[in-house]
Amino acid sequence: MLADAIRAENFRLLKNRTTLLWSTVFVPVMGLIFGAVGIFVMKASEAKITSDTKMPPQVLELMSSTPINVVESIAENAGKLDNPALLLFVLIGAATIYAGDYRWETWRLISARNSRANLLLGKLAVTAMLALAAMGLMLVGGLFETLIRASVFTRPLTFGLTGELFGQFLSGFGLSWLRIVQFTMMGMLAAVVTRSLLVALFVPLVVGVAQFFTPQILAPMGVMPDAWLSVLLNPGAAMDALKLVVIQPEGAPPLPDGMLLKSVLSMTLWTLVPLAGALAWFNRQDLSKE
Amino acid sequence: MNAVIETRGLTKTYGSVRALDGLDLTIPKGGVYGVLGPNGAGKSTLFRILLGLIRATDGTASVMGGGVGDVGAMRRMGSMIETPRFPPFMTARQVLRWLALEHGVGGETDIPYWLERVGLTQAADRKVRGFSVGMMQRLGVAAALMSRPELVILDEPTSGMDPPGIQEMRALIRSLATEDGVTVVLASHQLLEVQRVCDRVAILNKGKLVREGAVGELTAIGERLRLVGTPIEKVLGALSVTATRDGDAVLADIKRSEGPALIRALVEQGVDIHEARWVGTDLEAIFFTETGSVQTPEADHAG
């Protein structure tokens, strides 16, 4: 019956083309457009850029003639997919999924056809798939951007797939996906408690901003960024630490002692607590007041 | 008798308001069962508890042999509560497909059948945001019936419909019960419709059950034979039964089975009978009496 809930929710989302397009296609397309425009602008200013001694090496590398390893490029992008732009638009889709039945007053149609837990978990599953789709399209957009860059700067392409790169891709993609889904769970809890689509959208954003500034807020109190309180309040930092562990970029400093455990615990709490809270609240909720 | 719905001491309070007050109700399997009551009587609250939308404060309720929330039992039931709402971006056909998936019933073959049965074939591929209230009602009924439930709960199924639509809905409800063997439980303010459609009714008032029984039995209570004849005094004198004057007529307090014999006797005694018809209590009168509202004059019965 959870499968029924997932199939039904997935079917409904596919018919909601406006939400589907905004939450999965918009950011990858805009990213590709802006990326391509940037490449052509750089090409037009190539002489000026390459003669500027203060230009960052990363920019110069983009315009160099060294080969581009397409696989490496994809693997690197996979670890950056939990960026704010993609997150915002996936949250639009998530908020619609979680709060839509309150807005459309359709709980009365489905609450007698499936258990409340299945209904909510079905929404979570579809939201997770939505995030996967958005991330997949983002990777495709990134691939096209790489091809455009190679073409514009006449850089040869290579496809050097190694086990390390494959592992980097999987772990980066997986952790980014987990982070996005974690954010949507805050939206789930907000949707269930407030029955509001807008609140379901904005609460995760506000919480995300607050998490971002947590180290700066705690620092004057003598709480270090790797302290328990700081890591537990800031799953973003926990995610960054986990990415360092699994991706192991060259030159990255080692993690402080105990940081791995703190990070895992922080991510676990920020994943399970909103989910458990939403399930508990929804199970007791009066659905006649939609 | 098998009961499809059973409540014992069912209570629901909202603060100081008791929407349901220890309701004991048994709805048998088969036929069409009406639930009547004025606004605030507890009809909608009862349905919402049975559908798992809200939780009772006290008491128990069972549906199709299982407790409320037993999904297996609930899936043998269909429902339409209040004016149905649907995702505005979906077409009627997509709505039914979505609900079929949610319900775990496979196949799209039944959807055209149900759309046709509720008269929505022409509008099947229109988005519901453009539907009238009557069309929403029809789609809601189709959604309730699509899974071929054994029990259907309909709350005001004819609300917003035009007279032809009401007639079609009445025929559909009766056919569900008589041809498909579905137990239909409906709430309606259209007392005349309920009297025509329902086999049994329950009248709720202030959260309690105040009257329950077969429609035919309830409306036969207090039934009398109204006679208009000349001369009226001669009619009165000729009768050997208890009678009272009602304007230019006489109300004879006899059973239906005694009616033909009385009329023959009056005619044999030279009374010219101009009019003879049964008058009794209709559902509307019972409703107003039981709910403490203004009582209407006695209504006519056909025949």
Provide the pLDDT confidence category of residue B32 given band limits of 50, 70 and 90.
Answer: very high
What was the pLDDT predicted at B298? 42
Could you tell me where the DSSP H helices lie in chain B?
Answer: 43-50, 71-74, 92-103, 110-117, 133-145, 163-178, 191-197, 215-220, 232-238, 259-268, 283-291
Q: Is B143 on the interface with A (CB under 8 A)?
A: yes
Given a cut of 50, is residue A93 above it in pLDDT? yes
What was the pLDDT predicted at A184? 94
- Letter string b/e over residues A175-192, b meaning 16 or more CB atoms within 10 A of that residue's CB: bbbbbbbbbbbbbbbbbb
Given a cut of 60, is residue B287 above it in pLDDT? yes
Q: Worst-scoring range by mean pLDDT, B19-33, B55-69, B213-227?
A: B213-227
Question: Strand B151-155 to strand B77-80: parallel, antiparallel, or no bridges (unpaired)?
Answer: parallel
CB contact under 8 A, B104 and A17: no
- Which chain A residues contact residue B87 at CB under 8 A? 12, 15-16, 100, 104, 106
The CB density around residue B121, as the number of other CB atoms within 10 Å, is 15
d(CA B82, CA B137): 9
Q: Is B15 on the interface with A (CB under 8 A)?
A: no
Q: Is A281 on the interface with B (CB under 8 A)?
A: no
| Residue A55, token pair as written in the block | 């230009």
| Residue A263, token pair as written in the block | 């990070």
What number of CA atoms fall less than 13 Å from residue B233's CA on the CB side? 0
Interface test with B, best of A11, A109, A111, A284 (most B CBs within 10 A): A109
What was the pLDDT predicted at B299? 41
- The letter for the amino acid at A33 is I
What was the pLDDT predicted at B293? 57
Provide the pLDDT confidence category of residue A22 given band limits of 50, 70 and 90.
Answer: very high
Interface test with A, best of B55, B89, B99, B101 (most A CBs within 10 A): B101
Given a cut of 90, is residue B250 above it in pLDDT? no
The reported pTM is 0.83
φ and ψ at B21, to 5 degrees? -130, 80
Q: Is A11 on the interface with B (CB under 8 A)?
A: yes
Q: Is B105 on the interface with A (CB under 8 A)?
A: no
What was the pLDDT predicted at A9? 96
Could you tell me where the DSSP H helices lie in B42-103?
Answer: 43-50, 71-74, 92-103
Per-residue pLDDT reduced to its tens digit, A254-281: 777 788 888 889 999 999 999 999 999 9
CB contact under 8 A, A8 and B75: no
Nearest to A287 among B44, B53, B85 (CB): B53
ipTM of the complex: 0.85
What was the pLDDT predicted at B199? 92
Whole-angstrom CA distances from B246 to A100, B7, B211, B249, B282 are 61, 43, 28, 5, 18
- Which chain B residues contact residue A16 at CB under 8 A? 87, 89
Determine whether B28 is exposed, middle or buried from the number of CB atoms within 10 Å of its CB (0-12, 13-18, 19+): middle
CA distance between the termini of chain A: 24
Q: Which long-range contacts (CB under 8 A, 24 or more apart) does A32-37 make?
A: A32/A141, A32/A142, A32/A144, A32/A145, A35/A141, A35/A142, A35/A145, A35/A148, A36/A145, A36/A148
How far does the CA of residue B146 sit from the closest CA of chain A (Å)? 12
pLDDT above 90 covers a percentage of chain B that reads: 31
Residues A176-201: what's their mean pLDDT?
94
